[in-house]
Structure 1
Amino acid sequence: MELELGRATFPVTEYFTISFRLSGAPLERYSAFPDLEGFKKSGKSSTTTTRIVEGRTTTELTITQRYAAYAEGEYTIRPFSMTVNGQVARSAGATLTVGPAPTAATAPPPAGSAPQGIGLMDLLFGKPKPQEYVEPKDNAFLALVPDKTSVYVGEGVHVGLYFYLTPSDQGLLDFYNFPGQLPGILRQLRQRTAWEESFNEQEIVPEPVTMGGKPFLRYRLYEAEYYPLNSEPLIFGEVALQMVKYRLAKKPAEGLDNRMEGYKTYRTAARTIAVKPLPPHPLRDQVAVGSYQLREAIDRTAFRTGQAFTYTFGVEGEGNLAALNAPVVQPRTGLEVYGPDVQQELTRQAGRVGGRKVFRYRLVARQPGVLPLDSLLQLVYFDPETGRYDTLQPELRPTVRGAVRTELPFRARTDDPYYQAVLFEASNRLQPLDAYRDVRRYATYILAGLLVVASWGWWQAKR
């Protein structure tokens, strides 16, 4: 686990970032990102990178906190540390230079502060007089907000659980044992007929928003993207959240605690999201669903028969990349295909889930001529925005030159990541050809020795 700081010099209109990178282990918990003087926290994003090489899967998770500067100037970040899954990572800090905006821009508005209580002063002398308390009306509410009312099978729908309150209600309300309530809330939000991609955000901070022309503070309690696996509707029942609500003294007195702690439960309205089946198609049950584009690449410009080259079939866009399978290569005479290696980068940010999935193939042509990759690799998918099926096909058509190779001993390239683990980790120590014969001879000697010892013991016992 390691910490990464963003650029030290940037304009006031851009964000400074602090990230931590976790490899080879699931994220269980992490401490809050530090507060920086002169900066406002402005949301987080998470990126998951998955690599599959020779059947071995490695996953890397990056959580990034964005900071917006209030004004131009030079700022000093003091050394800080963060704890992730019980491991402590430390940063030496940095000196940041925030320059002017390239164009006229307005500095980010200051964030609403976290709910705070009314000031408490200890009573110095005598007993407090009995107080009468009243429960003021608040404008807070709990909401479960999907970004769509209906989706296709396999299409993602973003669902957020938010708590809203007005700035004037901050002194009246506070969170009550939210970590203890969260597991029960998550159980109510789970959908047995959908794939869920959660946003991994654990720190709850207020965000200034406007609803109906009125200012509110919004707390993101949970966010996830749901991908229906069949045409059953997604049904979200009523979700409850218990909060601390203070009753205020009817006649406030100096030197007394003029509020009394109580509890109030807020509930969401039930939500149902209709799920539509995909239109008829021979591959309807196999195709990926999403908005995708093809990004292809090839590792050389000249191609010869008998020489291996790497072709990259990259899919970018929004959708359930975990359900996107590698394109099947159509067999072709005189062409050998190896792989693919798979790498997936998943980004969750601003209520959207997308990323990139890359398939790398190694090809060796035995015969010269134009290699029609568009007829060898195809990926059919359904685009929910257009409501139609589409196909991603390569546009590259490399021309292979050279003589026909009937017998082609394939030689792996040492700079190819597919073979690096095997070639560089393999031992170069010579092994004798008669190793197994020596083992058999030594085993015979041991058995003969054991037989002699046993015979001598039997002879001694008879005497």
Structure 2
Amino acid sequence: MRCNSKISYVLFLVGLMLLPQYTMAQDEKVSLILGSSDIGMNQMYTITIQVENGRLKGYSDFPEIEGFVMRGTSSSSSTNIVNGQISSTQKLTQNYAPMREGTYRLSSFEMTVNNQKISSPGATIKVGPAKQQSRQRGFDPFGDPFGRDPFDDFFGRNNSQPQEFVDVKEDAFFALSTSKEEVYVGEGFNLSLAFYVAANNRAPMDFYQLPEQVAEMTKKIKPANCWEENFNIDRVQGIPVTINGKTYTQYKLYQATYFPLNTGEIDFPSLELKMIKYKVAKQQSFFGRNRKEDFKSFRSRSKKVKVKELPDHPLKDKVAVGRYRLTDKLSLKELDAGKSFEYAFTVSGRGNIAAIDQPIQADNKDIEFYPPNIRQNINRNNNRVTGSKTFTFYGIPREPGEYNLGDFFQWIYFDPDKEVYDTLRPKETIKVTGKSQQFLTIESNQLGSFYDKINLESNDLKPLQSPNYWRWIGNTLILLLMGTMAFFLIRKP
């Protein structure tokens, strides 16, 4: 009976290979299947690409889910024969591991599968405590009533010896790298953490709790005496790179540009990245378990960056460091004295854009400038920080004449590539016509009620001294008062 059973299985498999020659393929159908929306902390949420009557040839990125981390993919395929026609199904499943309990929302999303756009309405996912998982096997129409897989005997898996797994040597490394080993104060250098996998690597691996590990590593390496511009990597993607003539896939985990604020030495310690590494079954089977999850830790080398002092200069503690250029713009190039104009002074280039200070203004009485409005743009790409900062001044000329704005503004910086200080000066000129505005300020002020009465008074000249008869009357009254007091004092007994 066992022999007949095995012969039947062989004939069945041969029939599967021969039937496509005599049946016509059905139309391809592509769909997205969302997993259970009520899972435990020890379970995975899944999004599955299903291709019916076709082969999965290509697909776009799976969506990110807040509160979850991607945990690799799994695939499966099946073939059915109904009334002499073959239908096939191929599935690719992306697994998501929950980070904590709670309710999360998977927003509606769209994926491109085999050059077709497939939409999903999303779902609300509830993550509860860990659930006890049953290990009972499902019903198998080709199995026996005791829950055994009839193919186990055919492929030699129902023996008493357990499956043996072996560790395959990996060809990969974890690195902390910096773009420079020595910089000036204020000069930026790029730092990155990346995992590299060689093109000929045969050891299967996957990331383990990556957000938590990266957060812990950045706490250890972030220097306290530096301004940080974080590149905010939110999706880890493989990029082919060549190192010493060998091809690797680079998975960049963290990247930032640091701008030191003082001299000294910046120490970056050795870091550890824990990865999931799978052991491979010594005897591969068609339906059985072919790999076993294990862990492997990779360590980066420590790094040092020396920060040196800027050359002597009266403003060396205040100037920006980088490569910059100036563009400026006037709203009006000709106007009358007393009229306002707008002047934009824009510094752009590579460096710490946030630290750019406004230009130095020369003292003058010819044009009055008001404090500027400030706008800045910062770009973080191609392993460097670039951008611009615009200072918009409003000015009012007081005297007619032709003025070169280079006499009013200047901006000094240090170029670390050339190792020299440089000065940016405007080249715009403005022509002012009309009358001087020097005395108009007094005329426009309100002088008070005392001056308002001037027009009501007579223009006749009057002597400054008062008439003498008022003085005689006053003196006479004083003498009479004194005589009366003396009379009463003499007659007092």
**Structure 1 residue 331: deviation in Å?**
2.0
Q: Secondary structure at the match of 1:325?
A: coil
Change (3 A) 1:167 1:402: same
Q: How does 1:71-90 map to 2 (within 5 A)?
A: none
Report the identity percentage.
36
Is the contact between residue 173 and residue 243 of structure 1 (CA under 8 Å) also seen in structure 2? yes
- Indicate the residue corresponding to 2:291 in structure 1: 259
Check whether the contact 1:193–1:232 (CA below 8 A) recurs between aligned residues.
no
For 1:381, the equivalent position in structure 2 comes to 413
Aligned counterpart, 1:399 = 431
- Give the TM-score normalised by structure 2: 0.58
Contact 2:169 2:203 in 1 (8 A): no
1:135-194: per-residue Cα shift (whole Å, max 9, x none)? 111111001111111110000000111100024437611001111212111111210111
Paired residue secondary structure (1:219): strand
Q: Which of these residues, 178, 202, 207, is aligned with residue 146 of structure 1? A: 178
Separation in 2, partners of 1:39, 1:254: 26
SS in structure 2 at match of 1:378: strand
Q: Deviations over 1:12-33 (max 9, x none)?
A: xxxxxxxxxxxxxxxxxxxxxx
Bigger radius of gyration among the two: 2
Which residues of 2 match residues 158-307 of structure 1 at below 5 A? Answer: 158-169=190-201, 172-307=204-339
TM-score (norm 1): 0.61
Which protein has greater RCO, CA pairs closer than 8 Å, 6+ apart?
1
In structure 1, how many angstroms separate the alpha carbons of the residues matched to 2:109 and 2:364? 54
* Helix, strand or coil at the partner of 2:436: coil
In the aligned structure 1, how far is the partner of 2:317 from the partner of 2:199?
49
**Cα separation, 2, equivalents of 1:87 and 1:254:** 38
CA distance in 1, matches of 2:438, 2:245: 75
Tell me, in whole angstroms, the C-alpha distance in 1 between the residues paired with 2:360 and 2:105.
42
Given the superposition, is the C-alpha separation of residues 303 and 38 from structure 1 closer, same or farther in structure 2, using an over 3 Å criterion?
farther
| Aligned Cα root-mean-square deviation (Å) | 2.7
Distance in 2 (alpha carbons) for counterparts of 1:89 and 1:285? 50
How many angstroms apart in 2 are the aligned matches of 1:385 and 1:331?
33
Structure 2 unpaired stretches of 5+: 1-56, 62-103, 113-139, 141-147, 442-493
SS at structure 2 position matched to 1:169: coil
Count the aligned residue pairs: 302
1:277-325: CA deviation from partner (whole Å, max 9, x where unpaired)? 1001111111111100001111123222111101111001000011111
Contact 2:406–2:425, Cα closer than 8 Å, also in 1: yes
Match for residue 149 of structure 2 among 124, 140, 147? 124
Q: Give the match for residue 390 of structure 1.
A: 422
**Counterpart code for 2:279:** R
Quote how far apart the aligned CAs of 1:400 are: 1.1
Deviation of 1:350 (Å): 1.1
**1:342 corresponds to 2:367:** no
Contact (CA 8 Å) 2:279, 2:294: kept in 1 or not? yes
Residue by residue over 1:209-262, the C-alpha shift from the partner in whole angstroms, topping out at 9 and shown as x without a partner, is 122222211101000000011111121000110000011112223321111111
Which residue of structure 1 lines up, in the alignment, with residue 137 of structure 2?
none
Aligned ranges 1:344-383 → 2 under 5 Å: 344-383=376-415
Distance 1:369 1:89, change over 3 A: farther
Q: Which amino acid aligns with 1:225?
A: T
Which runs of at least 4 in structure 1 moved beyond 4 Å after TM superposition?
Answer: 37-41, 86-94, 125-129
Judged with a 3 Å threshold, the aligned counterparts in structure 2 of structure 1 residues 358 and 367 are, in CA distance, closer, same or farther, namely same
Query: What pairs with 1:307-322 in structure 2 (closer than 5 Å)?
Result: 307-322=339-354
**Higher mean displacement: 381-390 or 367-376:** 367-376
Match of 1:184, SS state, is helix
Number of the residue aligned with 2:168 = 136
